[in-house]
Structure 1
Amino acid sequence: MRMIQLSKPGGLDNLQLTERESRAPGHGEISVAVKASSLNFHDYVVAVGLLPTEDGRVPMSDGAGVVTAVGEGVTGFSVGDNVLSCFFPNWLDGRPAFEKLLQVPGDHADGFAAEQVTMPAQGFTRMPEGLDFREAATLTCAGLTAWRALMVETHLNPGDWVLVQGSGGVSIFALQFARQMGCRVIATSSSDAKLQRLGELGAEHLINYRETPAWGDRAMELTGGRGVDLVVEVGGPGTVGQSIRAVAFDGCISMIGVLTGISGEVPTAELFQKNARISGITVGSRAQQLDMIAAVEAGGIKPVIDSSFPLERLADAFRHQESQQHFGKICLDIAD
């Protein structure tokens, strides 16, 4: 089988197409012919060496494919089933804990930039009906992160306000899930063209944050001085101040990304005066993924895909991600 391996110390030029034999599944494992993956920021920081991993690691945390073999002791999967990977294969249910967040594919263990994988069956769920492999592969990290932000870490009601930042995978999924549950959405971006597309997806108000640096104040105005019930925060320290300004009393800021850095100032006085909270989120559990899949099927949600690259052009796909020109998810086509 073909696969991509990352040589130390990392860097896009150290992603190499190689071959090796696949192995049969052992007890509790399944083998999967991988059809598609999708790029996340987490995959990028592994690939460029900012998140060091073992020499020769096979990258990519997301995977969708078809079961080709089932090991002893496995129930719930059969040869021919379409399956979707889990970001945290050890986090089956309940609240997060250190030991549940180990063995992330493409980081702690080999991932899905390979034509065939053999992994524990508990690291997969069924794939949503009505989606192709590319679309399904976008859900593992970005889709589930957005789902947990909206449906697990806070309690939203129809008519509540959600603010999403930018046009990456998590933000677009958050917009789609929010609209599905009847929430009103404010979207921010530095691109008017991307804002137009976010509006077409259902964002009610659009803010160009370069033209309106104090977008937290603008969000307060748009909500009649109430503020937003949830901010899907992907920027980190460079944007969290405005997010605290925008959030409503007793609201929630779901801290998902650190695109502007890993530390910085937080206006704590305004945060506690509002009785608001910041909830740190890293993806979610297998049980939450199954809930999300049911919602995707019921609501007919279609992931937004920017572009697709073949396996051997994974480095080019990451370069496209670096350019920040994409809207939605960048996918990897692995097998026909």
Structure 2
Amino acid sequence: MRAYRLQDLGSPSALRRQEEDPPQPGHGQALVKVHARSINFRDLLIQQQRYAVPARPSVVPLSDGAGEVVEVGPGVTGLRVGDRVTACYFPKWQAGSLEMPMALDQFGCTRDGMLADYVVAEAAALVPAPEHLSFEQACTLPCAALTAWSALTGGRPIAPGQTVLTIGTGGVALFAVQFAKLFGARVVALTSGAHKAARLRTLGADEVIDRQLHPQWASEVRRLTHGAGVDHVVETGAIDSLPQSLAACAANAEVALVAALGQGSLDASALRGLVTIRRVFVGSRAAYEAMHRAITQHRLEPVIDRAFAFDEAHLAYQHFAEQRHVGKVVIADR
């Protein structure tokens, strides 16, 4: 089979393609023919040796993929050959709280991921792909979509009419816009550039702020909310944008902190209004299944920026790293 592996982590040429034998499913496992996979920011961090969890040497990268079951091992129930599936980001996190042993088991980091023709996974780690989605669309769900879902559902419930602030046009931010509208929320979206602003409006964002025109955008958020501020923030902009996110919050608001990768510092005076900051770590299988039901019921479709062929994996990584994408970057089985 075709497979890419990460060699010499930290090098721009770490991604190496090779031919190897397909893996074989063991007890309780299934073999999946991967038809599409998507890139997340954590995949760049792993390649650059900046991720919190050390990668296994020569690991097959990427956590997110969608495909079909082609073989099941002994003891597998609930899965059949031909089933269309995606894999959970944390294969062992079924429900409840995330514990350290679960966090240390991740596709594309501590175990082989999706940038290959085939992957082996425990049956409990595989979730049916929504029937109305293609493989290219379904492969965007395990990390970005579930992170956005957990950011909006894992803390205080969103009441219809409340206001949600999203930051940027990456996968998590765009899914957050779509999910927030499903819950009846008003969305204020932050971005840069007219093209990205227009795309956010087509997804349902009620207000879009161009941070190039409004560098101190927290003031603009407050103006658009008549001084009240927002009730929920999906903070994908790193620690650098967190002070302004907090300044944009209403009293008793909640900030779901998806990433904290910047070099800025946070002044304690920014913590006004009894704001709750909650760290989000993707989500469990149970959360994934709840999200699956919502996506299926509303026939929600992920936003794909561009799909590359398998042989163009290096170009896909480069395109993602340039941060000009709007939506998900996909590597398809073409």
Query: What range is the shorter-chain TM-score in?
Result: over 0.9
Runs of 5+ unmatched residues, structure 1: none
Give the Cα–Cα distance (whole angstroms) in 2 for the partners of residues 17 and 275 of structure 1: 51
Partner of 2:17: 17
Q: Count residues in correspondence.
A: 332
Q: What is the SS of the residue equivalent to 1:53?
A: coil
Paired with 1:316 and 1:258, the residues of 2 have a C-alpha distance of 27
Report the counterpart of residue 37 of structure 1 in structure 2. 37
Q: Is the 8 A contact 1:12 1:315 kept in 2?
A: no
TM-score, scaled to structure 1: 0.96
Q: Write the distance in 2 (CA, Å) between the matches of 1:47 and 1:32.
A: 24
Counterpart-to-counterpart distance in 1, 2:270 and 2:304: 38
- Among residues 175, 194, 205, which one is paired with 1:203 in the alignment? 205
- Partner AA of 1:39 in structure 2: I
| Worse-matched range after superposition: 273-282 or 239-248 | 273-282
Give the 5 Å matches for 1:282-301.
282-301=281-300
- Indicate the percent of aligned positions where both proteins have the same amino acid: 38
| Partner of residue 329, structure 1 | 328
Q: Is the 8 A contact 1:4 1:312 kept in 2?
A: no
The 1:185/1:243 distance shift into structure 2, 3 A limit, reads same
Which residue type is aligned with residue 163 of structure 1?
L
Q: Distance in 2 between matches of 1:115 and 1:141?
A: 20
Q: Show CA shifts across 1:138-169 (max 9, x none).
A: 00100000000011222111111001001000
The Cα of 1:6 is off from its aligned counterpart by: 0.9
Q: Helix, strand or coil for the counterpart of 1:79?
A: coil
Q: Give matches, 1:229-244, under 5 Å.
A: 229-244=231-246
Distance 1:50 1:39 in 2: 16
Q: Quick check: 1:128–1:296 contact (8 Å CA) kept in 2? A: yes
**Aligned-partner Cα distance in 2 for 1:155–1:143:** 18
Structure 2 distance, partners of 1:12, 1:69, is 35
Counterpart residue type for residue 149 of structure 1: A
- 1:57, 1:110 within 8 Å by CA — same for their partners in 2? yes
Question: Shift of the alpha carbon at 1:221?
Answer: 1.5
Structure 1 stretches of 4+ with a deviation exceeding 3 A read none
Q: Which letter does structure 2 place at the counterpart of 1:28?
A: G
Q: 2:190 touches 2:208 (CA, 8 Å); kept in 1? A: yes
Uncovered stretches (5+) of structure 2, i.e. residues with no partner: none
* 2:117 corresponding residue in structure 1: 115
- Once the 2 structures are TM-superposed, how far is the Cα of residue 178 of structure 1 from its aligned partner? 0.5
Counterpart of 1:308, as a letter, is A
Aligned residue type for 1:322: A
CA drift of 1:268 comes to: 2.5
Shifted more, 10-19 versus 84-93: the winner is 10-19
Partner of 1:92: 94
Deviation string 1:261-310 (CA, Å, 9 cap, x unpaired) is 1x532232342x31111111120001100000100011111000011112
String of CA shifts for 1:242-266, please: whole Å, max 9, x gaps: 000011111111111235x1x5322
Q: 1:129 aligns with which of 123, 128, 131?
A: 131
Q: CA deviation at 1:59?
A: 0.3
Match of 1:218 in 2: 220
The answer as to whether partners of 2:90 and 2:284 remain within 8 angstroms in 1 is yes
How far residue 34 of structure 1 moved from its aligned partner, in angstroms, is: 0.5
The root-mean-square deviation of aligned C-alpha atoms, in Å, is: 1.3
What TM-score do you get using the length of structure 2 for normalisation? 0.96
Do residues 145 (structure 1) and 147 (structure 2) align?
Answer: yes
Name the CA distance, whole Å, in 1 between partners of 2:48 and 2:102: 25
Q: Contact 1:87 / 1:105 at 8 angstroms: preserved in 2? A: yes
Decide which moves more: 148-157 or 286-295: 148-157
